[in-house]
Amino acid sequence: MQNDLELKIDELLSRMTLREKVGQLVQVSAPIDGAGKERLKNRVRNGSVGSVILAFSSTAGNDAQRDTEVEVYNELQRVAVEESRMGIPVIFGRDVIHGHRTVMPIPLASAGSFNPELVEECYTCVAKEAANDGVQWAFSPMVDVCHDPRWGRIIEGPGEDPYLASVMSRAIVKGFQGEDYSQKDRIAACVKHYLGYGASEGGRDYHRTELSDYSLYNLILPPFRAAVDAGVATVMSSFNDINGQPVTSSKKYLTDILRGYLGFNGFVVSDWAALANLRRQGVAETEAECAAMALRAGLDMDMVDDYYFNHLAALVNSGEVPEALVDNAVRNVLRVKLSKGLFENPYTRKGEYDRGQHLRKAYELAAESMVLLKNDNHILPLAKTAKIALAGPLKQERRALLGSWVLDGKEEETQHFYEALQNALGGCEGTVICNTDDLADDAAEKVFAQSDVIVLALGESHLVSGERHSLADIALTEHQVSLARRAHNTGKPVIGVVFCGRPLALQIAEPYLDAILCAWHCGSETAAVAADLLLGDLVPSGKTAITFLKTTGHIPLYYNATSGALANNGYYGQHPEDCYLDIPAQPMYPFGYGLSYTRFTCSPIHCEKTDMTWQELKAGACFRLSVTLCNTGAYDGKETVQLYIRDKVASVMRPIRELKAFQKVFLSAGDHCRIDFSVGYDQLGFYRENGEYVVEPGAFEIYIGDNCLTDNCLSIQINP
Ligand code: NOJ
């Protein structure tokens, strides 16, 4: 089968002219109407277009985009298939980042669901909707592990942990592609941004990165490896440089590591006009040089700047670039087009799908993604008889709640939070009184006075996150803090519902809030889910996929750091004096943290055999660990039991905690269950600077609990 595919590629390649080959490596963005449409048709007819990106500006995630237009795409495809000499179909790609018509939670939130099965199901729905609208290829998942919440694009990624990122990466690729992405409702995925983009200095977008090979292999590469292992069709290279080497022109990253080391065999597309950036980045002078460098590095398809289109043929004809390199890139593109089944089914035939089911999935995922950060005196859930005063800048927002990077979701199809609270209270005695003007002197206080409890819809707009939308300060705004203070001064309980795209620094507001629900930007069902959580129709089970900091000055602060030289346990948890004089060292909320309305207790760790030899481990033996989890509270609920390791002494400093496994389980009130984990060779090692995976004998600590700071610990030993 695989052989047939390669034979078909050989056959096509043997009949293609150089110009046609180069055409396969060209992606255009085109206003598909008027004169633009005719120009594009001509290019397609000439065999000069391999792909069309259905985005019309460089920062598609924050700009209004045109709706998808299936008839127009089919017409263009007809020209490619029937009127071009080779009849090779184009592939249509779009930024389907965390939803299509139905918008799922931003990936930073959904990673915190710790529920990869549900994430996969949700992206299966997304694939179906996008495919139905003519999208054959999604520029997702974005799996940039990131330690800097100033970076606006942190919303698009899986947070700070490479293991969780890998699990989510696989789930999203599988959700888009299924087992076979030639199926009608499946689309090709594109893992991005390869590589190191999330480590951009200072959280500034498109900025430089300084990255050791050790961090690269252990922290940044794992989710890309997971995507490749899951069969991802394509990879998007990143804008940034790594240690002064732009990834766009780096053979080390695009060929040696991606193909040689990870075994990727799809195609690599550049990011938007990234070849042109090589001149700005100061590694090339002319357009032709940029094109030659990118092709030599292993970049197959050029997104929108036409450098390949304008220069590759001449570079081959002059002997500067061997035609074999072009052939190789074309092979990679054709492999994906054939695997997508475009030659048999080039057109989109619109069908039906069950929108209601997709919205129900979006609701479920939002319900498992929102994180209850604080709940003093069990103030939540609220009684449905409560008189609720509602204030805060996000109380009647629709668009913000969808999140950045939404091209096809419609805000008019969503509820805002005020509506959602009213709907959730429908038929009950409770009421919501909404303050219309938080800024007016005593307007809020008047509304507060009539209530039993105050709910503040806080957070940030989608326009302060996403691409090219970084912030220098991640604290909740002063206006919102002052609103929280005013609410608190009434003496009534105050609930903060924080709709956000990044872990906002909540230290100043926190003392004024009795409860805090981080509702994120959770897509189409954000408001409904936040209301149902507040009123107890849902029980929270989301966890933080990223550390919540006290202030911006904490950056970078992440759980899986190594120890400081003097602090045995590093600066994350236990040793405040080794950090800053002016702020406490500990984060506001650690990684993996999230409360429930019910209470879970976890037993000490049980393990029959706590030592084994390195040979036994290498041969496949595992440490078999178990805990008993009890739901001792009054609600049915879900808990994520997390397993971390610490390699006590190694040839290189290892993190104080590393997530290696987790299980999310449902338990009825009063119920308990045993949870088993196997920890073996694949969990206990790390990558050396050359990418070699090693497990070193010695002592390890295993931690099992409800967040990364659990002290439920057991020592195990690998004997030499
Ligand atoms: C630039 C972004 O970096 C990338 O993520 C996106 O897929 C492309 N633009 C296309 O819109």
For CA atoms 564, 569, 575, 580, the dihedral sign is positive
C-alpha neighbours within 13 Å on the C-beta side of residue 12? 25
Q: Whose CA is nearest to atom 3 of ligand 1?
A: 271
Residue of the CA atom closest to atom 1 of ligand 1: 272
- Cα(469) to centroid(ligand 1), Å: 13
Q: What is the pLDDT of residue 576?
A: 57
88 close to 147: Cβ distance less than 8 angstroms: no
Q: In the annotation, is 144 catalytic?
A: no
227 φ, ψ (degrees, to nearest 5): -65, -45
Question: Measured in angstroms, how far is the CA atom of residue 361 from the centroid of ligand 1?
Answer: 26
Mutate which of 95, 151, 156 for ligand 1? The one with the most ligand atoms within 8 Å of its CB, which is 95
CA of 236 to the centre of ligand 1 (A): 9
Residue 418 near ligand 1, beta carbon < 6 Å: no
Q: Specify the pLDDT at position 60.
A: 78
Contact between 709 and 587 under an 8 Å Cβ cutoff? The reply is no
The number of C-alpha atoms within 13 Å of 490 and in the hemisphere containing its C-beta is: 25
User: What pLDDT was estimated at residue 431?
Assistant: 95
Does 272 contact ligand 1 (Cβ within 6 A)? yes
Q: Which homologous superfamily does the CATH classification assign to the domain defined by 367-554?
A: Glycoside hydrolase family 3 C-terminal domain (3.40.50.1700)
Alpha carbon of 475 to ligand 1 centroid (Å): 27
Domain ranges for the chain: 367-554, 598-719
**What pLDDT, on the 0 to 100 scale, is given for residue 564?**
79
Q: Which atom of ligand 1 is nearest to the CA of 57?
A: 11
Position 575 scores a pLDDT of 61
pLDDT digits (tens, 9 = 90+) for 414-462: 999 999 999 999 999 999 999 777 767 788 888 999 999 999 999 999 9
Does the beta carbon of 289 lie inside 6 Å of ligand 1?
A: no
Bond prior to 493 in cis (omega within 30° of 0): no
Residue 117: the pLDDT is 98
Helix (H, G, I), strand (E, B) or coil at 706: coil
- For residue 494, the CA-to-ligand 1 centroid distance in Å is 40
Report CA-CA distances (Å) from 490 to 264, 445, 547, 656.
Answer: 60, 8, 31, 43
Joined together, the tokens standing for residue 191 give 């893992």
pLDDT in the model for residue 189 = 99
Query: How far is residue 633's CA from residue 375's CA, in Å, rounded to a whole number?
Result: 14
Phi-psi region of 466 (alpha: psi -120 to 50; beta: other; left: phi over 0): left
Taking each helix axis as running N to C, give the angle between helix 116-132 and helix 162-177, from 0 to 180 degrees, rounded to the nearest 10: 40
Q: Which CATH superfamily is domain 598-719 in?
A: Immunoglobulins (2.60.40.10)
Residues of the chain below pLDDT 70: 1, 31, 439, 567-570, 573-578
Give helix 287-297 / helix 307-317 axis angle, nearest 10°: 80
CA distance 48 to 84: 9
Write out the H or E segment, with its range, that includes residue 718.
strand 713-719
Residue 57 · residue 467 · CB < 8 Å: no
In angstroms, the CA 477 to CA 495 distance is 17
Q: What share of the chain is helix, strand, coil (3-state, %, to 5)?
A: 35, 20, 45
Q: Which helix (H) or strand (E) holds 660?
A: strand 658-667
DSSP per-residue letters across 596-613: -SS-EEEPPPEES--EEE
Distance 693 CA to ligand 1 centre (A): 32
Same fold flag, 367-554 and 598-719 = no
pLDDT of residue 577: 61
Residue ranges of the alpha helices (H) in 133-188? 162-177
In this prediction, residue 643 carries a pLDDT of 98
Question: CA angle, corner 295, sides to 292 and 299, nearest 5?
Answer: 145
**Whether residue 139 has its Cβ less than 6 Å from ligand 1:** yes
**Residue 96 beta carbon below 6 angstroms from any ligand 1 atom:** no
pLDDT at 568: 65
Rounded CA gap, 517 and 511, in Å? 14
* Nearest partner of 189 among 179, 203, 174, judged by Cα: 174
- Say how far residue 29 (Cα) sits from the centre of its chain: 25
Q: State if residue 467 touches ligand 1 by the CB under 6 angstroms criterion.
A: yes
Q: Does 95 contact ligand 1 (Cβ within 6 A)?
A: yes
pLDDT for 578? 64
| Residue position matching structure tokens 């931690």 | 703
Which residue's alpha carbon is nearest to atom 11 within ligand 1?
60
* Residue 156 Cβ contacting ligand 1 at under 6 Å: no
Out of 241, 271, 438, 647, pick the active-site residue. Answer: 271
Please identify which residue in the block is written with the tokens 């789930």.
Answer: 171
For ligand 1, atom 10, which residue shows the shortest CA distance?
A: 272
Residues 6+ apart with CB under 8 A from 57: 63, 65
Tell me the C-alpha distance between 102 and 124, whole Å.
12
Structure tokens at 518: 């981080």
- Can you give the pLDDT at residue 569? 67
Name the DSSP class of 561.
P
**Structure-token pair, residue 247:** 């990834």
Of 282, 279, 289, the C-alpha closest to 321 is 289
Q: Which residue has the tokens 């971390």?
A: 644
Residue where the block lists tokens 């002059």: 318
β-bridge mates for residue 488, sequence order: none
Pair 705, 684: CB distance under 8 Å? no
CA dihedral 567, 572, 578, 579 (to 10 degrees): 160
| Contact of 552 with 588, CB cutoff 8 Å | no
